Copies of this chain bind each other. A is one copy, B any other.
Amino acid sequence: METERIVVLAHGKFPDRAKTALGVMRYGDQTVEAVLDRDRGGDRVSDHVPDVADAPIVDSFADALAAADGDVDALYIGIAPIGGGFDESWREDVRAAITAGCDVVAGLHYFLTDDEEFAALAADHGVELRDVRRPPEGLSVASGEAGDVDADVVLTVGTDCSVGKMTTSLEIVAAARERGIDAAFVPTGQTGIMIAGWGTPIDRVISDFTAGAVEDLVVEAATDHDLLVVEGQGAITHPAYSAVTCGILHGAMPDALVLCHAAGREAIHGYESFPLPPLAEYVDLYESLAAPVANANVVAGAVNTKGFDDAAATEAVESVAAETGVPAADPIRDGADRIVAGVLDGLDHEDVDGGVDE
């Protein structure tokens, strides 16, 4: 399959508040031809982010198209305002992309396909508007079959939202592939879906179908791969999002769990009156909640130490390992091989269905 050549829209937010843009640039197979940020037009990506492929930052889609000699397949919306709406200041870029024959990919709550102008323009130019946050048709309740797949299933679970579950999942897949394991990422959120090009936004499905939607993804991915790493969402202790977390845990029926934690986080982000329980309680809670449907233990910890100096980061990782009793690492700072080792060791001890052949 040829690599998709894309332009990433990140007006006013690149790089620090453009999580989706950075995720796609760091982990996607796409070739990024340009980034749109009218506040940084003329800069280069490498001026701001050292560890992704370089590209020009330009003011508009028209400029991006010129910079790429017209060779662009798609425009990705790489940011989201609070509330997930469509910012009207982006309209001219989306219009220009469609008119140039490019697909447009977005993970907003506002669906491009419901926008009359974009829908008509897309039909005229024969391009696709991909709203990755719109759940597919035909979802249903879980049948309980995810536990029967041949592949081994690892799920990332968290102590809160925004602790690095997607990043950890992707880094585990990359490190497992380094070891020659046929591993695949199973996306459950909009950025993961943009990166991988498939998946279901589990937070948008009907509550009754939460587990069923995850089961579908696991069953599908298991036909082609030996080790699946399912992207977790939320946290089982989260006052607002625990339903999604619980549905993913039971729908995926994992063989092993990787606990993700942001070093220094002491309360639920945005819900500061709810302190995080001790990590050992998270381990107990996830394992005992999984137990009725899946024999899954926490086999490794992933620690997000962003902003810590090296000594503090090392201390934070060691502290997570000590509190959970399993190997831990910061998958960005340390690489995920130690986490993969913990996963393989855990799978081995649990005598699972043998999908991974080392």
When distances are taken between beta carbons in the complex, the residues of chain B under 8 Å from A205 are 206-207
| Contact of A265 with B by CB under 8 A | no
Contact B288 A207 (CB under 8 A): no
Contact B236 A212 (CB under 8 A): no
* Residue in B206, B238, B281 whose CB lies within 8 Å of A250: B238
User: A200: shortest Cβ distance to chain B, in Å?
Assistant: 11
Select from chain B the residue with minimum beta-carbon distance to A214: B243
Q: A206-B203, A246-B242 are in contact. Are A292 and B237 (CB under 8 A)?
A: yes
Could you give, for residues 244-266 of chain A, a 1 whenever the CB lies within 8 Å of some chain B CB and a 0 otherwise?
11110010010000000000000
| Contact of A274 with B by CB under 8 A | yes
User: A279: shortest Cβ distance to chain B, in Å?
Assistant: 13
User: A295: shortest Cβ distance to chain B, in Å?
Assistant: 12
User: A276: shortest Cβ distance to chain B, in Å?
Assistant: 8
Select from chain B the residue with minimum beta-carbon distance to A291: B277
User: A315: shortest Cβ distance to chain B, in Å?
Assistant: 25
When distances are taken between beta carbons in the complex, the residues of chain B under 8 Å from A306 are none
Contact A144 B288 (CB under 8 A): no
| Contact of A125 with B by CB under 8 A | no
* Residue in B202, B207, B237, B274 whose CB lies within 8 Å of A244: B207
CB under 8 Å from chain B, chain A span 187-237: 202-212, 236-237
| Contact of A241 with B by CB under 8 A | yes
| Contact of A289 with B by CB under 8 A | yes
When distances are taken between beta carbons in the complex, the residues of chain B under 8 Å from A206 are 203-207
Q: A236-B289, A289-B285 are in contact. Are A243 and B207 (CB under 8 A)?
A: yes
User: A338: shortest Cβ distance to chain B, in Å?
Assistant: 28
CB under 8 Å from chain B, chain A span 251-309: 253, 271, 273-274, 277, 281, 284-285, 288-289, 291-293
User: A264: shortest Cβ distance to chain B, in Å?
Assistant: 19
| Contact of A354 with B by CB under 8 A | no
Q: Beyond A144-B273, A207-B247, A243-B247, list 18 extra A-B contacts (CB 8 Å).
A: A144-B240, A204-B207, A205-B207, A207-B210, A208-B244, A211-B239, A237-B293, A239-B253, A242-B246, A242-B250, A243-B246, A243-B250, A246-B247, A274-B293, A277-B291, A277-B292, A284-B288, A285-B288
A residues near B, CB below 8 A? 141-144, 202-212, 236-247, 250, 253, 271, 273-274, 277, 281, 284-285, 288-289, 291-293
